[in-house]
Structure 1
Amino acid sequence: MTQTPVDPATSPVSPALSAAEEALATSTDAASLAHSVTRSAQIEADLDVNPDRYRMLTGVRPTGNMHLGHYFGTMHAWKPIQDRGVDTWILIADYQVITDRDGVGPIRERVLSLVADTLAVGVDPDRSTIFTHSAVPAANQLMLPFLSLVTEAELHRNPTVKAELEATNGRAMSGLLLTYPVHQAADILFCQANLVPVGKDQLPHLEQARLIAQRFDKRYGRAVKKHPVFRRPEALLSEAPLLLGLDGEKMSKSRGNTIALRMSADETAKVLRKAKTDSDRRITYDSAARPEVANLLRLASLCGAGAPEELAERIGDGGAGTLKRITTEAVNEFFAPIRARRAEFAADEGFLLGVLHAGNERANAVANETLEAVRTAMGMDY
């Protein structure tokens, strides 16, 4: 997926490509995606046979409470991967909160809330590592050599950076946001993770991490050792279900249109009663024509109420009220055990801090080893 570098002086934000270059990039990206899909399937099959070959890293920004979109998008997979014997690392990316914000907000509360959520979905701190960015200085120190391995044009081409730049409405982009892909690469490479669960839209970030590892080893690593300093991370592709917010827009913590994992059954019922639907009393499953109705049917289905089409047929002329009641019952029943465990964990702040401190200690030990290997490869071990 690597593209030919373009002079940033002639195109400082988003380097323009000729028609031929665009066609080449599209075909290259399509081939790269096909390879990633095939390779992900191979890894999926190998996990049960050779789980000890893999270290999985995934991360979440503590910008608010975790919600059902997070659960069905990624969190539901953490325990199964851990239980297959894969060394599982969960990053609470607290430093990344300030990539696009002026402050961190109630960061302590949100970090501990995320630890409670992580434990509630079944992550075992004795078998997995839960840690925060800010507590692992050696990992963040990798940003310096890594930044020397990328160009400004490459950073501007990153899809996340481009999207954030377009959304700023003229506001100057921070240096941290511009270098966000490099920070992600440091997250992955410091702990020698070689497996990263991602959606297809996140593949460019993983490719950037692979590219940085390759460039570092080409420039420094092989001059000292005959084997690479960094493992090459690969994608475990997932098809996250498309869940809209309760207002029919993109589900987002900042929009306040989510159902948080920490909500009680009554709070869930209250917000679902306000969920947007439409004026047609007969319930049908049509994602294109009736996205809000389809969204509630999809959510109920994910929570075990049956296939969306079957649910719609069963509700029939019952209208939005029946649809919301069935969805509420399905959500509350499905998440009741998770919420009960979460309440127990959240009530013991000392335990949550102990889990985090233990994870940070392990992350620091690995990060220090990696940084020492980096310094040795660069001839800076004095």
Structure 2
Amino acid sequence: MRNISSLRCLFCAYPKNKFLSKYFSNQVHRKAEQIINEKRVIFSGIQPTGIPHIGNYLGALKHWVELQNESDDIYYSIVDLHSLTIPKSRDFMRDSIFNITACLLACGVNPDTTVVYQQSSVPEHTQLSWVIGCIVPVNRLKHLPQWKEKLESSIDGGGHIGRYTYPVLQTADILLYKATHVPAGEDQAIHLVLTNEFAKSFNRMHGKFFPETQMISNPTFARIRDFRDPRVKMSKSSPSINGRIELTDTDSEIHSKIKRAVTDCTSQVTYDPENRPGVSNLIQIHCGMCNITPEEACAIACNMDTGKYKSLVADAVIDQLSPIREKYLNIRKDEVKLKMVLDHGAERARVVAKSNWESIRELLGINIAEIS
């Protein structure tokens, strides 16, 4: 029997957001009893846009590995189609797909028990995306915050249609496997709302088929900050390489980047994300690497200034990442094996995707294969 307290749902992390808090709270109370005894179907994806950094690791990959301890159906997709919204070279894409696959394996994702596959190898993703696009109102997409941000920052009116329909494909990714749970961060919360809105619309029009999807989130590590500018989220696209620690960084690079991390003029180590984002970011990283709470981290650092604390955090990061880095370097050498992992995962994913897609076609009235 599953323990309800282990279902760490997003609404707990965002009490100030009344809409999301109420939405996810209602989900939990309405579904808690049936979730206890049900087998979960978990889906999540990661773009092949570079080597993951510690924000990706603490916010997603570490959690992905931990979820494997449950007896669930798990799909981790390398969402290469999503990454095409920003044009990249052929060689970059190819290398990045292998890089991210090697990173997943090095972190501990087990391809024997978890379905690890390349999104574009399963054509049903885009087929279901078309169906969703025929139901979701245009104005609904216009109100998504990510689109508004792109529109405001773009000099070409928001760019191509792929950026606009990105959430539609994202919804298809989740629903294609009838996922019941999605491990994700706060920036994806509104997209899960869209996913459930579409599922309800489809079920209302064609009969009950898609489940309601819950979000699983670790609020403490949802937004690891940039070392050079702790006001913003750590990102692969950060203009400064010193703003992030990648999983393949050497021990000396890790020490150097944390030593140069922006903090403030107060030497005491205290956890105050709003007023002391730089120091609080270091505490969050320390907590994630050592599986402790912010209170425990501050107690450990009670006699330290921020300089000494940075060294402690760097050592904690190195202890966690060094074995991952060595595994990655070894695994990455064998592209044949990496391709075998992705091919095997795609075969397993296609079995479920094809079955669900044929059921959807039947509900839509476009499956005439059974007529003799």
Could you say whether these structures have the same fold, taking a TM-score greater than 0.5 normalized by the shorter chain as the test? Answer: yes
Give 1:27 shift.
6.3
Partner of 2:236: 253
What RMSD over aligned residues (CA atoms) do the two structures have, in Å?
Answer: 2.6
Partner of 1:365: 351
Partner of 1:132: 118
Partner of 2:263: 277
Q: Matched residue pairs, number? A: 342
CA distance in 2, matches of 1:102, 1:202: 22
Partner of 1:23: none
* TM-score normalised per structure 1: 0.81
Q: Pick one of 165, 175, 178 that aligns with 1:179.
A: 165
| Matching residue's letter, 2:235 | S
Q: Pick one of 12, 20, 24 that aligns with 1:33.
A: 24
Q: Show the 5 A alignment for 1:1-382.
A: 29-36=20-27, 38=29, 46=36, 50=38, 53-99=39-85, 101-103=86-88, 106-169=92-155, 171-219=157-205, 221-222=206-207, 228-241=208-221, 242-249=223-230, 250=232, 251-255=234-238, 256=241, 257-281=243-267, 283-304=269-290, 307-316=296-305, 320=307, 322-382=308-368
CA distance in 2, matches of 1:295, 1:185: 31
Q: 1:162 to 1:367 in 2, by over 3 A?
A: same
Q: 1:39 to 1:114 in 2, by over 3 A?
A: farther
Give 1:216 shift.
2.4
CA distance in 2, matches of 1:305, 1:364: 36
Q: Deviations over 1:30-74 (max 9, x none)?
A: 53232245468768x72xx54xx2110011111121111011112
Q: Is the 8 A contact 2:273 2:280 kept in 1?
A: yes
Give 1:119 shift.
1.3
CA distance in 1, matches of 2:299, 2:158: 49
Moved more, 104-113 or 247-256: 104-113
CA distance in 2, matches of 1:28, 1:333: 40
Q: The residue matched to 2:45 in structure 1 has which SS?
A: strand
CA distance in 2, matches of 1:329, 1:272: 10
Q: 1:120 to 1:29 in 2, by over 3 A?
A: closer
Q: Is the 8 A contact 1:139 1:371 kept in 2?
A: no
Q: 1:135 to 1:301 in 2, by over 3 A?
A: same
Give 1:179 shift.
1.2
**Percent sequence identity over aligned pairs:** 28
Give 1:283 shift.
4.7
Gaps of 5+ in 1: 1-25, 223-227
Q: Select the structure of larger CA radius of gyration.
A: 1
Partner of 2:6: none
